Amino acid sequence: MSDNRVTVRRAVDSDEPALLEIELTAWDATSGFPSLTAGGRTNFFTERSGPAAHLVAEQDGRLVGYIRLQDKYPFEEGAGVLAVNGLAVAVDARGRGIGSVLLDAVTAEAQRRGARKIALHVHGVNTVARRLYERHGYVVEGTHPREFLIDGQYVDAVDLALYLDV
């Protein structure tokens, strides 16, 4: 019998191939930076972003998405501000609420850590992700007009944040 429930857990080293597969196929010009996912990339984890920085979602025994949560600042005055530095769901698993479950898991984790704010950047044109974040209470903190040139088009960078202590 298949179990459609989505479970979330901390990533482990052996998740790397499944995470790399998602990384190489999930992003496009409206959501990511094509130069970072184009050709040749063979690792998902890096020295700065190892398994401990990731929560992964599983459904029917398959890894279907991840979210990366890190300290935004490496000094104590910025402690309490965490950053979502990546959120992606496998293309064929979208629209089933997995992104939503990952965002809820990160909120719970941030609260456990005593964080006061979760910050992230999203491309202005990424309407699917922006709606999702908005539904989860994220608000716009600022916009950087024409921040990136992606496939010949200028793209705004939008700073969003969820306040946990208000």
Ligand X SMILES: CC(C)(COP(=O)(O)OP(=O)(O)OC[C@H]1O[C@@H](n2cnc3c(N)ncnc32)[C@H](O)[C@@H]1OP(=O)(O)O)[C@@H](O)C(=O)NCCC(=O)NCCS
Chain residues that interact with ligand X, rule: CB under 6 A = 26-27, 31, 87-89, 94-100, 122, 126, 128-129, 131-132, 135
Q: Which is nearer to ligand X, 62 or 131 (CB)?
A: 131
Name the residue nearer to ligand X (CB basis): 55 or 132: 132
Bridge partners for 160 per DSSP: 120, 140
Q: Indicate the residue whose CB is closest to ligand X.
A: 95
Instruction: Report residue 163 CA to chain centroid gap.
Output: 17
Residues 6+ apart with CB under 8 A from 143: 124, 156, 157, 158, 159
CB of 91 to ligand X, least distance (A): 7
Q: Whose Cβ is closer to ligand X: residue 114's or residue 154's?
A: 154
Give the shortest CB-161-to-ligand X separation in angstroms: 13
CA distance 150 to 156: 10
> For residue 162, what are the β-bridge partners?
118
| Residue number with CB closer to ligand X (135 or 144) | 135
Q: Tell me how far, at minimum, the Cβ of 76 lies from ligand X, in Å.
A: 27
Backbone angles phi, psi at 107, to 5 degrees: -65, -45
> Closest separation between CB of residue 27 and ligand X, Å?
5
Q: For ligand X, which is the closer residue by CB, 114 or 128?
A: 128
In the complex, the smallest distance separating the C-beta of residue 111 from ligand X, rounded to whole angstroms, is 20
Strand partners of residue 117: 81, 163
Strands 117-123 and 81-89: parallel
